[in-house]
């Protein structure tokens, strides 16, 4: 038996995505910039995928730029905007629980910009008043992730967008939606979003492909210079097979988005109920309203997450001890530190993330496995303590 519950790290490509990629590689393999039929067929794949992605966030096709994934989209959107719009100000604002591709970029920019890191509360939520305090006439850009990748807290994107524009209409509002697509409603117009990052492998598309939404009228500088593909914003021959796969995945996701969300809500409720009934000394960080339906982060007191992860793996269960981008680094999660998780719990944090392809039988098996393995690990630790 294999139960994959690390879907916030990556999802398995759907059959429709794999089929679309195979067709693009085997049959429609032309360069989309070429003027012959092979090139035009490839260009159509790119055009159709661009349209599908735009429709999923209520954007226009011309506002979608293809990239290699979420990290590039975040860097291109933030750095590209700042380099192109130097007169707008020298203050940049983000939160304490952003993805490393945002926080590390802000660290890099700190010498040239005044970096403001807005804290979150103990539940992982941004407080609007704190955001408002950080914005002034010198603020060039505000970047906020829609759904946190470790604990699943959903931020008040619409309210934040309105507040940003009310305080400084020239401030760009960037939103990292890598974990949000398919889990919550995204409407760039209604939410006042100027720049948005997405990644195909988080919703059953392939790895190595993503996109940046760039609102019409927004100007950014490219990070790469070359043949002026993607409206001159992201040069390089488009990765047609990956674009085809992401386009197929987003169409499939949008066709069943309401049913998919109900499934994930059911799995999450079942897991949280099982944890509360069957395990002691565990802190569930993703419980209650305001969290994404696909993520449960639970901390087990006096248990090392890495040991528990491998014990679960022996039962055929795959979960994460944190985000995939930081799980190999030493030290505690910056997200769990930001929400002030007690020291006796923070080392035992496990992230369980579903997709609509999971089922209730898998959740039941996970609960049994957690109960067995947590108890065994604690017995071993207690025995060593003697």
pLDDT digits (tens, 9 = 90+) for 142-182: 999 999 999 999 999 999 999 999 999 999 999 999 999 99
Residue 333 has pLDDT above 70, yes or no: yes
* 3-state secondary structure (DSSP) of residue 222: coil
Which residue numbers are catalytic?
325
245-269 residue pLDDT tens: 999 999 999 999 999 999 999 999 9
Would you call 98 exposed, middle or buried from its count of C-beta atoms within 10 A (0-12, 13-18, 19+)?
A: buried
**Between 332 and 302, residue with greater pLDDT:** 302
**pLDDT-based confidence at 320, cuts 50/70/90?**
very high
Computed over every residue of the chain, the mean pLDDT equals 94
Architecture of domain 15-255 in CATH? 3-Layer(aba) Sandwich (3.40)
Average pLDDT for residues 84-93, to the nearest whole number?
A: 97
- The domain limits of the chain are 3-10+257-379, 15-255
Residue (of 102, 195, 94) closest to 144 by Cα position? 94
Q: At 376, phi and psi to the nearest 5?
A: -65, -45
Let me know if the fold of 3-10+257-379 is the same as that of 15-255: no
pLDDT above 90 covers a percentage of the chain that reads 90
Residue 330 has pLDDT above 70, yes or no: no
pLDDT at residue number 373: 96
**pLDDT-based confidence at 139, cuts 50/70/90?**
very high
What CA–CA distance (Å, rounded) separates 161 from 341?
A: 29
Are the beta carbons of 372 and 328 closer than 8 angstroms? Answer: no
pLDDT at residue number 386: 45
pLDDT at residue number 327: 46
What CA–CA distance (Å, rounded) separates 271 from 268?
A: 5
The pTM of the full predicted model, rounded to 2 decimals, is: 0.94
Would you call 218 exposed, middle or buried from its count of C-beta atoms within 10 A (0-12, 13-18, 19+)?
A: middle
∠ CA 335-339-342, nearest 5°, is 105
User: What's the CATH number of domain 3-10+257-379, 3.90.1150.10, 3.10.129.10, 3.40.50.2000, 3.10.560.10?
Assistant: 3.90.1150.10
∠ CA 153-286-336, nearest 5°, is 75
Residue (of 240, 296, 235, 234) closest to 265 by Cα position? 296
What CA–CA distance (Å, rounded) separates 288 from 272?
A: 10
């Amino acid at each position: 038996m294999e139960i994959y519950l690390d879907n916030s790290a990556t999802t398995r490509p759907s059959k429709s995505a794999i089929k679309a990629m195979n067709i693009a590689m085997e049959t429609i393999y032309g360069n989309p910039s070429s003027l012959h039929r092979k090139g035009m067929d490839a260009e159509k794949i790119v055009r159709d995928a661009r349209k599908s992605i735009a429709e999923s966030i209520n954007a226009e096709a011309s506002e979608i730029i293809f990239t290699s994934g979420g990290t590039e989209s975040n860097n291109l959107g933030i750095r590209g905007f700042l380099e192109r719009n130097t007169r707008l100000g020298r203050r940049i604002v983000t939160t304490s629980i952003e993805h490393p591709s945002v926080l590390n970029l802000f660290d890099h920019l700190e010498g040239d910009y005044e970096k403001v890191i807005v804290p979150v509360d103990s539940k992982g939520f941004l407080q609007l008043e704190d955001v408002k305090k950080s914005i002034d006439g010198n603020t060039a850009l505000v970047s906020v992730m829609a759904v946190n990748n470790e604990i699943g807290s959903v931020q008040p994107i619409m309210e934040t967008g309105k507040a940003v524009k009310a305080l400084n209409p020239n401030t760009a509002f960037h939103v990292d939606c890598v974990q949000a697509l398919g889990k919550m409603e995204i409407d760039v117009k209604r939410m006042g979003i100027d720049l948005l990052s997405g990644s195909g492998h988080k919703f059953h598309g392939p790895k190595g492909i993503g996109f940046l939404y760039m609102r019409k009228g927004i100007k950014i500088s490219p990070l790469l210079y070359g043949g002026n593909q993607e409206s001159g914003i992201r040069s390089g021959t488009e990765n047609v097979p990956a674009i085809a796969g992401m386009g197929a995945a987003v169409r499939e996701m949008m066709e069943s988005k309401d049913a998919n969300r109900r499934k994930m809500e059911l799995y999450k409720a079942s897991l949280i109920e099982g944890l509360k009934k069957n395990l002691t000394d565990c802190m569930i960080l993703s419980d209650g309203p305001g969290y994404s339906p696909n993520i449960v982060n639970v901390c087990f007191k006096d248990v090392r997450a890495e040991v528990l992860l491998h014990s679960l793996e022996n039962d055929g269960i795959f979960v994460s001890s944190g985000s995939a981008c930081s799980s190999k680094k030493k030290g505690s999660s910056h997200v769990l530190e930001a929400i002030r998780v007690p020291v006796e719990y923070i080392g035992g944090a496990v992230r369980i993330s579903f997709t609509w392809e999971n089922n209730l039988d898998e959740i039941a098996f996970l609960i049994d496995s957690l109960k067995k393995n947590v108890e065994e690990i604690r017995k071993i630790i207690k025995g060593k303590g003697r």
